[in-house]
Homo-oligomer: A and B are copies of this chain.
Amino acid sequence: MPQGKPAVVPTDGLTTRQRRNRPLVVLHTGDMKGKSTAAFGLALRGWNQGWSIGVFQFVKSAKWKVGEESAFRALGRLHEQTGEGGPVEWHKMGEGWSWTRKQGSEEDHAAAALEGWREISRRLADQRHGLYVLDEFTYPMHWGWVDVDEVVSTLRARAGNQHVVITGRYAPAALVEAADLVVEMTKVKHPMDDGQKGQRGIEW
């Protein structure tokens, strides 16, 4: 938990308030668990502020985030019914992006990933969300499906007060450079080292 004191006095010409509210690009990377869970934990804070939360799950691994998805969809319905918190949208590449017509028929993962990124670009231009969770979005960049320089320039140029959280291993150097906050999740110990497999409620 960071303490209140900045390490240096900035020379960027911004007031403390302007600087405090500068929207962030947050990157959760490293080999260990906790990258996505921490992103969704952060999204709980944004939801509570009434921000529009947009989740975009890259990579086909739908079963791994069912718990978060159910909970956030429940929070989204609660917002619709009571006005509490903010609205929630949840889009999955693995089941066809929900704004496309080609549900469930996408064989070309690279094209599907790029399509997801294009949609996110449009939403950033339209200032659609207060917080974007781009879950496992490092992989399409790592694999060359989405151009990291385009991502960086789009993120740098985004207007308004839009926070973006990106998770996944193998974060490209240009993305680390562009991010405001980068956390690496490192393994100290994992039960799979002792032969335990993943379990419900913990891994998904």
Q: What is A's interface to B at a CB cutoff of 8 Å?
A: 1-2, 4-10, 12, 16, 19-22, 24, 26-30, 32-42, 44-49, 51, 61, 64, 66-68, 70-72, 74-75, 78, 84-85, 130-131, 136, 163, 176, 179-204
The docked-state distance in angstroms from the alpha carbon of A195 to that of B175 is 20
Q: Which residue of B lies closest to A130 (CB)?
A: B201
Copies in the complex: 2
A67 touches B38 (CB 8 A): no
25 A-B residue pairs with Cβ-Cβ distance under 8 Å, sorted by A, are A1-B36, A2-B192, A5-B192, A16-B197, A20-B196, A22-B196, A26-B202, A30-B186, A32-B184, A33-B183, A34-B34, A34-B185, A37-B42, A37-B45, A42-B202, A46-B201, A48-B66, A49-B201, A70-B85, A163-B201, A176-B188, A179-B189, A180-B196, A182-B190, A184-B187
B21 touches A45 (CB 8 A): no
- A61 contact set on B, CB distance < 8 A: 1
- A72 contact set on B, CB distance < 8 A: 44
- A49 contact set on B, CB distance < 8 A: 67, 200-201
- A51 contact set on B, CB distance < 8 A: 201
The docked-state distance in angstroms from the alpha carbon of A195 to that of B12 is 9
- A7 contact set on B, CB distance < 8 A: 192-193, 195
Give which listed residue, B8, B74, B186, contacts A194 with CB less than 8 A: B8
A4 touches B34 (CB 8 A): no
